[in-house]
Structure 1
Amino acid sequence: MSRLKVFLTYTDDEFAGYYSASGLAALQTHADVVRNTTGRVLAGRELAEASAGCQAIIAHRSVAGSRETFAHAPDLLAFLRAAVDISTVDVAAASELGILVTRASAGFATAVAELALAMILDLARGISRARHDYAHGRAPVVAKARQLAGTRVGIVGYGRIGRQLASHAAALGMRVRAYDPAIPADELGAIGAPFETVLGDSDYVVCLAASTPETENLMDAAAFARMPRDACFLNLARGELVDEDALLAALDAGRLRGAALDVGRAPDQKPSARFENRPDVVLMPHVGGMTAEAREHQTMDTVRQIAALAAGRMPDGAVNATQAFRVRPLLAREDTPGAAPQRP
């Protein structure tokens, strides 16, 4: 096959914030690149038509990988998501049509952990509350602030982000407790505790749990009722982990001192509009992993994946390698590890 042709879905604004000129330059050493020049997020058949003639699509998280796109893209061999989350990619449809789906690796643990710590500081010192009053022409009257040293943070979900946050918090003199049923008790050690204990014994509860059918609405009315009065809740994981009605009720009743949300149930996992303009809620628009370092990590993952395909190898991050029969012509040898079988 001749040189690969790749469609980059990013609008100009998305490219500036989420991809990079250095990533594009590196990508162009392995493939011819077609940019999205419409100024719009493309979807469905329109995405297929815009990428006509391209063997790969590199998709920003705003772009869904739908059955309609795959069905109208006869040249498409691979759909690369430049993020870990592939919940908006119809992997079953891609597999049925022999299209490879890949995802980027998680290079954002440090970035998200640092944002969580910044949000804890904001809640402790009332920074957003004061800014809210100033913006509305009022002299701020902020409740007595807290020092972090000596306070308690409970981490729900002890993966890479949770571990880094625990390290940061401990360095500031905070006491750390953690709950994660997927991690053996001996690995959690002294900081491990049951879910109810973490909720009931924390000044700040930080939700970093994985999103599964079992964890939907993990933070419900009962969970918020277990938290100490005047505690704070933070979510930097997924919006579906939180019952928003229950969170609003806890805030309105004054049970919680405040909340901080980087994710929610709005499109693209952004916080819901119902939390806007509340002085007791710190909001960020799903940018926990949006540091230059974290974004470049995932950008370069897509470059490495295209480079692997161009060299006839199955790339790291492949989700459906055994079903992706369209990439067979690219593979260097019949016995290439991870190579997809011919279509029956």
Structure 2
Amino acid sequence: MSAAKKEVVIVTGVDLAQAAVELLRDYELVYAGAKPTEDDMVKLAQLHQPVAIIVRYGGVSARVMDAAPILRVISKHGTGIDSIDSQAAQQRGIAVKAAAGANAPAVAEHTWALIMACAKNVVGLDQRMREGHWDKSTHKSLELQGRTLGLVGLGAIGRRVAAVAAALGMPVLAHDPYAKEAPQGVQLVDLDTLFAQSDVVSLHCPLTAENKHMINAQSLARMKDGAILVNTARGGLIDEQALIAALDSGKLRAAGLDSFEKEPFTAPHPLQRVGNAVLSPHIGGVTSDAYIAMGTGAASNVLAVLGA
């Protein structure tokens, strides 16, 4: 007599941390590949009839959900769930979960890597050195001590970024409509105040229909001349054309960007020619430790729903 067929969990990626695979040992894992399209996901859902989907890359639309009538949970391998149609999931009684905080240390560290790179012109100086220049007599970096850091979003990542700012002697402002209190040394303010008073603005909020392009020509105009903007959240928060104009004009000193309106970033892209923009391919949360934490977090969220 053959063993009962295992229920299926689809993973939109090529792998999952071994610790997460072990947690899901009672389920059959089906990997969708690194760049599954909506059509790919519909076909896989029809073929395998999953009870859960773990989302690493790409997203899950209503069409995919309708192809999987026994689907009970969509679990994000990370924190941002904007690639999942949460409203469609709610209408179909499907739980949507995120591995909250799993990648917070990694993203906070990358945020500071970008802030430092912008303030100290690390990339530009490296390039000049390789071209044979010695700019000691002409270059001046920005000292961060005493400068104000403005955090848009005060969740697990934002709080870690704030703690480093405190150690550097930076006053911290934060805007987060969901924050009931702030850590010591962090002042909660409205968004206009944050933009007007911050020397460094760093984004740590989810992307919603309401805050899309919250960084636009108007908000950039309200920022301090020579401010730094860093985004390790979602690309859709920024109007990229308005940002490029602010960088080109010198309104902003620099920008550090780890996410973009359209991903993957495809060349040629207007930001590639902007010398005072530091770019990375949405890898803020990609470390070996975060990979394990996000995988086990996503797996645990699946088990919590399926075991309920």
| TM-score tier (shorter) | 0.7 to 0.9
Whether contact under 8 Å (1:234, 1:259) holds in the other structure is yes
Q: Deviations over 1:39-85 (max 9, x none)?
A: 55233343243352343343334232123333333554444332333
Aligned residues: 302
Determine whether 1:289 maps to 2:285.
Answer: yes
- Residue identity in the other structure for 1:122: A
Bigger radius of gyration among the two: 1
| Residue in structure 1 matching 2:35, options 21, 38, 41 | 41
Q: Match for residue 64 of structure 1?
A: 59
Distance (whole Å) between structure 2 residues aligned to residue 92 and residue 178 of structure 1: 29
Q: Match for residue 232 of structure 2?
A: 236
Q: Match for residue 154 of structure 1?
A: 150
Q: Match for residue 31 of structure 1?
A: 27
- Residue identity in the other structure for 1:69: V
Which runs of 5 or more residues in structure 1 are unaligned? 315-344
Q: Match for residue 122 of structure 1?
A: 117
Aligned residue runs from structure 1 range 291-330, under 5 A:
291-308=287-304, 313-314=307-308
Q: Match for residue 6 of structure 1?
A: 9
Distance (whole Å) between structure 1 residues aligned to residue 58 and residue 186 of structure 2: 43
Whether contact under 8 Å (1:265, 1:272) holds in the other structure is no
Whether contact under 8 Å (2:257, 2:277) holds in the other structure is yes
Distance (whole Å) between structure 2 residues aligned to residue 154 and residue 92 of structure 1: 31
Whether contact under 8 Å (2:146, 2:171) holds in the other structure is yes
Distance (whole Å) between structure 2 residues aligned to residue 193 and residue 40 of structure 1: 40
Distance (whole Å) between structure 1 residues aligned to residue 166 and residue 292 of structure 2: 29
| Residue in structure 2 matching 1:83, options 75, 78, 82 | 78
Distance (whole Å) between structure 2 residues aligned to residue 217 and residue 199 of structure 1: 14
Q: Match for residue 172 of structure 1?
A: 168
| Residue in structure 2 matching 1:257, options 233, 239, 253 | 253
- Residue identity in the other structure for 1:173: G
- Residue identity in the other structure for 1:35: Y
Q: Secondary structure at the match of 1:266?
A: coil
Whether contact under 8 Å (1:132, 1:279) holds in the other structure is no
After superposition, the CA RMSD in angstroms is: 3.2
Alignment CA distance shift 1:296-1:269 (3 Å): farther
Distance (whole Å) between structure 2 residues aligned to residue 86 and residue 270 of structure 1: 23
Report the CA distance between 1:290 and its aligned residue. 1.7
Distance (whole Å) between structure 2 residues aligned to residue 270 and residue 203 of structure 1: 30
Report the CA distance between 1:173 and its aligned residue. 1.6
Which runs of 5 or more residues in structure 2 are unaligned? none
Q: Secondary structure at the match of 1:257?
A: strand
Alignment CA distance shift 1:67-1:215 (3 Å): closer
Q: Secondary structure at the match of 1:155?
A: strand
Report the CA distance between 1:219 and its aligned residue. 1.9
Determine whether 1:131 maps to 2:134.
Answer: no
Whether contact under 8 Å (1:6, 1:32) holds in the other structure is yes
| Residue in structure 2 matching 1:113, options 108, 112, 115 | 108
- Residue identity in the other structure for 1:26: L
Distance (whole Å) between structure 1 residues aligned to residue 267 and residue 215 of structure 2: 15
Q: Secondary structure at the match of 1:282?
A: strand
Q: TM-score, normalised by structure 2?
A: 0.82
Q: Deviations over 1:24-47 (max 9, x none)?
A: 23322x2222334xx552333432
Report the CA distance between 1:100 and its aligned residue. 4.6
Report the CA distance between 1:140 and its aligned residue. 6.5
Distance (whole Å) between structure 1 residues aligned to residue 179 and residue 276 of structure 2: 33
Q: Deviations over 1:129-178 (max 9, x none)?
A: 1234457x463647311232232222222222222211101101222222
Give me the identity figure in percent. 29
Q: Secondary structure at the match of 1:59?
A: strand
Distance (whole Å) between structure 1 residues aligned to residue 203 and residue 21 of structure 2: 34
Report the CA distance between 1:285 and its aligned residue. 1.4
